Structure 1
């Protein structure tokens, strides 16, 4: 199976982390987001959304990182995507929560407009308003995650075993490190992220994005 990806892509790292951690062999093909390769005709023919990741399994193509990791988990029989109907529904619920709620405010509202020029809003007033709104909304989501969804007793999002929700959610929360947040106000999130960052696959998968984060050191960001 082939994965079209880029190591600076949050959603690509979701798939890369899961596959690496679970020992699932993939043929990785980089699509260079920084030169605009994803917008060119050859890749647009593969994914008309012009986004990574994309999984190819023979003649079958699949987009969207959530769908891809579910497909890979089912193929591998991974316990990270449990067969029990209610346990699986809980994993799906948490993945939907991250995608539908916190990621749009934290990622696309607060972090990406500050670190990627293509996401910066037009004009200082619009940029400032976007960041203020997203900061406040992100704080609400983080408090909910810390207090209610993780709480003091669980090691992972859906209990004491790692699930697909952890691979997805951890990549989104890890973005906070790009803008200097140490999660000190959210001890349960911080503890959970410690478990995720201790995985053997974390360091090799995050080498490129860590290098990019290092290049941002010294800048001032609106953070939460």
Structure 2
């Protein structure tokens, strides 16, 4: 198997961490997003959407992080993607919620627009409105995650045990810390993310984005 990825990619990190945690034999090939390698003809022939991650398993190819996690978990028969119909449905639901709610407003609306030049809006007013809108809605989703989806009694997103939803969600929630949020407004989220950070592979997988975060102007970014 081969995984095309970049260590600063929010959607790559969950897959890489799952591979590392489970010692899955896979070749990891970096696609340099910062030099635009993903836009070139070679990688475009792999994924016309010009995005990472991409998993190749022989002549089988997947181009979406959530689908890759599910495939890998099933491939190794991991309990992190339970076989029970209802338990699996809850994992799917959580991953869909992260992808359609939190990702849109926290990642694209609040974080990326502020830290990645390619996502910044063309005028100061457009930038201000975009970030303000994303920030307001991201705070709402973080509160929903904290008070309802997690609450005080669940160590992980779907219950007592870690699932691929935790791998997936942690990468997006961590973006709040990248821009300087201390998560004190979301104590249940902070505790859950702390559990994910205790995993032996966290520091290695998140080293690149944490290094990038140290270069950002603290106190000057809109946080959640």
Aligned to 1:177: 177
Aligned to 2:89: 89
2:38·2:50 contact (CA, 8 Å) conserved in 1? yes
Residue 218 (structure 1) shift: 3.5
Aligned to 2:46: 46
Could you list the per-position Cα deviations for residues 35-79 of structure 1 after superposition, in whole angstroms to 9, with x for gaps in the alignment?
A: 000000010000000000000101111110000010000000000
2:3·2:26 contact (CA, 8 Å) conserved in 1? yes
Number of equivalenced pairs: 224
Matches within 5 A, 1:50-199: 50-199=50-199
Residue 216 (structure 1) shift: 1.1
Residue 22 (structure 1) shift: 1.9
Tell me the TM-score normalized by structure 1.
0.98
Aligned to 1:9: 9
Aligned to 1:211: 211
Could you list the per-position Cα deviations for residues 92-134 of structure 1 after superposition, in whole angstroms to 9, with x for gaps in the alignment?
A: 0000000011110000000001000000011000000011111
Tell me the TM-score normalized by structure 2.
0.98
Which stretch shifts more, 21-30 or 89-98? 21-30
2:179·2:218 contact (CA, 8 Å) conserved in 1? no
Could you list the per-position Cα deviations for residues 125-170 of structure 1 after superposition, in whole angstroms to 9, with x for gaps in the alignment?
A: 0000011111110111011000000000000000010001000000
Which consecutive residues of structure 2, in runs of 5 or more, have no partner in the other structure?
none
Residue 210 (structure 1) shift: 1.1
- Tell me how far apart the structure 1 counterparts of residues 25 and 182 of structure 2 sit (CA, whole Å): 33
- Tell me how far apart the structure 2 counterparts of residues 196 and 25 of structure 1 sit (CA, whole Å): 22
CA-atom RMSD in angstroms: 0.8
| Structure 2 SS opposite 1:215 | coil
- Tell me how far apart the structure 1 counterparts of residues 157 and 139 of structure 2 sit (CA, whole Å): 18
Matches within 5 A, 1:11-26: 11-26=11-26
Residue 215 (structure 1) shift: 1.1
Runs of 4+ in structure 1 off by over 6 angstroms are: none
